[in-house]
Chains A and B, each alone.
Chain A
């Protein structure tokens, strides 16, 4: 009786899952494998090999990897510094890092568009101190820059979390057994923060790979990521079949990269999720 009531509580969530997750996936699958007239085809999938699509996919992978690498390089030392600070100031700094996430995603991108534009604030400041202006807007660099800005907290938080969970005892035990600073870092801290690093990588890499809004607004139509190609297929060409086919390919990439990272994580002795 009690159990039944409990199970009923999951009802709304199940409905949500079926309606907004399962159904769309089924529809994507249907569209991906059919033509506009409803006949079975593999053309929507194989069209990924068209050179323009391949180019977009590789550019997406390249930018997503660059963004992930930059986020990791920034976050790891930052998490270490944060972890060594006093407890109270730690909370404040983490708050500051999360603060931009309270603002709308689109607004943040538009703000960077203004800041980076040729007559924008950054170039004005550079000019004022006599430096040459930057011409980054509408280039892949601007897209990567904004991706890093947007996704950095998703890298910092899991790494910081993993780091703050390392007991001081364990560090002291390592020192007690003769370990110097370098040994403690590579043999204790790095392996123990690996689960955080891996979830950080997944949480940055996946949205970076699939993003289209940033490249749309900061790329000026010159940076065509796979996300933009899919968006155009749906919104401009009204070719839902092609859009679905490419989405499916992208999904496979995402799932494959997550599985790869997860298996790496398990080898290190801790799972990601």
Chain B
């Protein structure tokens, strides 16, 4: 594994007596694509702004490449930011926008011209030097904002929901574009988003946050397949989160039905949260499943049918490729390895889990 580039140590920040970040600890490795993911108000943008230098933490340290940069101004840090609303300078041409940082560093004219050309090529907007900012579409403006940041050769690029204002198709294209950019530049990306799909597509590491606390840090696969608590499970993709009792190792009671599972070590007769992904629920003939119920709603989603089945008092969300019309009596089956067992929240920083998304 590559070395730690940024280390956030015991970061606390509050605005008007409201705590936004509480003793946050996080490190970011060199050349990592790290995403801070969470609902609005979870502290992800504040974390990014603290790394960028736009906010000063109330307490804690930011170590960058071995040096403490906690009190350095943004213009003294070796990183650049891509803002959500592009923040291009409206009175300058595209070339002047991109050259802004380089002119401050007093680079030669030929160096700047080369850099502008290179950056525009990198974001697929060759020949846009003379264009004005308002003649560009949102997607193009965001590419220019990225070009303006990367010509300064930062070690880290901070991206604050950069695709938030773009439409769906463009957003998906830009996701691949960003991955390509990151690989070509070989620098660290710290990315903030509330869109779990964006996070799963692009990240090496995802940090799931809620109410100022980190809920889980892991690879996209880890986060999706092994969520550590109900909040993460609910936020990353859709889930059936049901109250259950862990009877003993490998046996959990949910909705008065005993399911075999693969989890161990929770103890006997312990209340837990049971998470089952909608694509992991199988609809079978009545009598062949573990419990039975009736289809109460059916929505065609393209790739699959989103079916809701009322069984034992719980509305199961099920994604199937077969259609089961509303009113059909069906059986429900879940494979043991598709059942995720989680402890109920206990400690203070896990309480954030209970709040709704």
* Pair B80/A174 contact, Cβ less than 8 Å: no
| CB contact under 8 A between A177 and B152, given known A172-B54, A172-B74, A183-B104 | yes
> B313 on the interface (CB 8 Å rule)?
no
* Pair B81/A269 contact, Cβ less than 8 Å: no
Binary interface profile of B, 143-160, with partner A (CB < 8 Å = 1, else 0)? 001001100100000000
Binary interface profile of A, 162-201, with partner B (CB < 8 Å = 1, else 0)? 0000010110111111111001000110011000000000
> B128 on the interface (CB 8 Å rule)?
no
* Pair A178/B105 contact, Cβ less than 8 Å: yes
Binds A, one of B84-92, B179-187, B227-235, B333-341: B84-92
Which residue of chain A is the closest to B75 with respect to CB atoms?
A: A178
> A207 on the interface (CB 8 Å rule)?
no
| CB contact under 8 A between A179 and B87, given known A173-B81, A174-B100 | no
Complex: how many Å from CA A188 to CA B92?
9
* Pair A192/B75 contact, Cβ less than 8 Å: no
Contacts of A172 in B (CB 8 A): 54, 74, 81, 83, 87
| CB contact under 8 A between A176 and B91, given known A169-B83, A169-B85, A183-B104 | no
- Chain B 84-110 interface residues, beta-carbon cutoff 8 Å to A: 84-85, 87-91, 100-101, 104-105
* Pair A173/B152 contact, Cβ less than 8 Å: no
Contacts of B91 in A (CB 8 A): 191-192, 268-270
Which residue of chain B is the closest to A269 with respect to CB atoms?
A: B91
Complex: how many Å from CA A183 to CA B75?
11
> B73 on the interface (CB 8 Å rule)?
yes
Contacts of A183 in B (CB 8 A): 104
* Pair A177/B100 contact, Cβ less than 8 Å: yes
* Pair A170/B89 contact, Cβ less than 8 Å: yes
Contacts of B152 in A (CB 8 A): 177-178
Contacts of B132 in A (CB 8 A): 269
Complex: how many Å from CA A176 to CA B148?
11
Kindly state the interface size class of chain A when it binds its partner: 20 to 34
Of the residues B74, B84, B105, B145, contact of A175 by C-beta under 8 Å: B74
Kindly state the interface size class of chain B when it binds its partner: 20 to 34
Complex: how many Å from CA A16 to CA B80?
57
Contacts of A169 in B (CB 8 A): 83-85, 87
Q: Tell me, rounded to whole Å, the shortest Cβ–Cβ distance linking B118 to chain A.
A: 17
Binary interface profile of A, 148-173, with partner B (CB < 8 Å = 1, else 0)? 00000000000000000001011011
Q: Tell me, rounded to whole Å, the shortest Cβ–Cβ distance linking A189 to chain B.
A: 11
* Pair A176/B90 contact, Cβ less than 8 Å: no
Complex: how many Å from CA A169 to CA B90?
12
> B52 on the interface (CB 8 Å rule)?
yes
* Pair A176/B80 contact, Cβ less than 8 Å: yes
Which residue of chain B is the closest to A166 with respect to CB atoms?
A: B90
Complex: how many Å from CA A180 to CA B104?
9
Complex: how many Å from CA A170 to CA B85?
9
Contacts of A178 in B (CB 8 A): 75, 101, 104-105, 152
Complex: how many Å from CA A77 to CA B149?
31
| CB contact under 8 A between A173 and B104, given known A178-B75, A192-B90, A269-B90 | no
Of the residues B73, B87, B101, B105, contact of A170 by C-beta under 8 Å: B87
Complex: how many Å from CA A178 to CA B54?
13
Q: Tell me, rounded to whole Å, the shortest Cβ–Cβ distance linking A121 to chain B.
A: 45
* Pair A176/B85 contact, Cβ less than 8 Å: no
Complex: how many Å from CA A183 to CA B103?
11
Q: Tell me, rounded to whole Å, the shortest Cβ–Cβ distance linking A122 to chain B.
A: 44
Complex: how many Å from CA A176 to CA B81?
7
Contacts of B52 in A (CB 8 A): 176
Contacts of B73 in A (CB 8 A): 175
Complex: how many Å from CA A4 to CA B85?
42
Which residue of chain B is the closest to A192 with respect to CB atoms?
A: B91
- Greatest chain A CB density within 10 A among B73, B84, B132 is at B73
Complex: how many Å from CA A63 to CA B91?
33
Q: Tell me, rounded to whole Å, the shortest Cβ–Cβ distance linking B330 to chain A.
A: 52
| B interface residues with partner A (beta carbon < 8 Å) | 52-54, 73-75, 80-81, 83-85, 87-91, 100-101, 104-105, 132, 145, 148-149, 152
| A interface residues with partner B (beta carbon < 8 Å) | 167, 169-170, 172-180, 183, 187-188, 191-192, 268-270
14 A–B contacts, CB within 8 A, in A order: A169-B85, A170-B87, A172-B74, A173-B83, A173-B87, A176-B52, A176-B74, A176-B80, A177-B104, A177-B148, A178-B75, A188-B89, A268-B91, A269-B90
